[in-house]
Amino acid sequence: MIVLSKVKQTHGKDSIYVSEASSHLKKNPDFRWSLVKDNFITEEECELLREHIYESCMNPKLDKRKKNKEVWDKYYNSKKTNVSIYDKGDETEFQWLIDRVWTTIKVANQVYWKYDIDGLRSAIGLYYNVGEEPDGELHSDFANGIDGNMDTTFKLTGLLFLNDDFDGGELEIIQGKVKPKAGSLLMFPSFAAHRVLKFSGADRFTMVFVIEGNTFV
């Protein structure tokens, strides 16, 4: 059982409040703060997704965001750096990817996290221009939700790296830093505080997948 009292995670001068999961973690010796699956997609698939994200970010008419668009734009602070690829119940040309991600995370969950998960809630494409600094703030997908409010149904997050031809740009997460590797899928609990570090040399493309499930299990 996850205890829903708030605790404070501190990274240097930064801190974020997340839900305490101590009792759950103590009962799960297989728990991992993060897990990486290399070669999750091919370079050709990476290129296909990069092109789609870039074109959608540059042309708002291609952006499939429909629900809560005003809230979405305010939360992500830029219409040009993120695009909705999939929302639960929608049709998508990337169903092959949605199915692959769900199958992979579902298997990993059975081994390492053992949450009661229902399915993939959303998929977001993120585009950072080489001249655009990441905000650098620690955040939790669990604490922020899709609209900036806490969403306790967010259980696991998947981060798909679509390129690695830049310097820096690691994802800092509780127990260390993860170096981007094109085609690899990073998985971690949605309550884990994380942030993107500074990068240079080339644009940075990723996709974020949110897995939802029972709040208390």
In whole angstroms, give the CA distance from residue 40 to residue 69: 30
The confidence score (pLDDT) of residue 4 equals 31
Q: How confident is the model at residue 76 (pLDDT cuts 50, 70, 90)?
A: very low
The domain ranges of the chain are 33-213
Residue 90 CB-half CA count within 13 A: 17
Which token pair is 212? 């939802």
- The residue among 70, 63, 34 whose CA lies nearest residue 193 is 34
Could you tell me if 185 and 160 are in contact, meaning their C-beta atoms sit under 8 angstroms apart?
yes
pLDDT of residue 217: 61
Q: Kindly report, residue by residue over 79-115, the tens digit of the pLDDT.
A: 347 888 998 888 899 999 999 999 999 999 999 999 9
For residue 180, pLDDT over 60 is answered with yes
Kindly report the pTM of this predicted structure: 0.79
pLDDT of residue 14: 42
Q: Cα–Cα distance between 178 and 180 in angstroms, integer?
A: 6
List the alpha helices (DSSP H) in the chain: 22-26, 43-58, 69-76, 95-108, 141-144
Nearest to 101 by CA among 121, 76, 83, 115: 121
What is the structure's pLDDT at 10? 43
Q: What pLDDT, on a 0 to 100 scale, did the predictor assign at position 29?
A: 87
Contact 125, 92 (CB under 8 A): no
Per-residue pLDDT band for 215 (boundaries 50, 70, 90) equals: confident
Q: How many CB atoms lie under 10 A from the CB of residue 165?
A: 10
Q: Which pLDDT belongs to residue 145?
A: 47
The model's pLDDT over 7-28, given as tens digits with 9 standing for 90+, comes to 344 444 443 333 344 444 557 8
Phi, psi (deg, nearest 5) at residue 125: -95, 130
DSSP state of 15: E
With 80 as the cut, is the pLDDT of residue 186 above it? yes
Q: Say yes or no to pLDDT of 67 above 50.
A: no
- Give the CATH class of 33-213: mainly beta
How would you write 30-82 as a 3-class SS string? CCCCCEEECCCCCHHHHHHHHHHHHHHHHCHHHCCCCCCHHHHHHHHCCCCCE
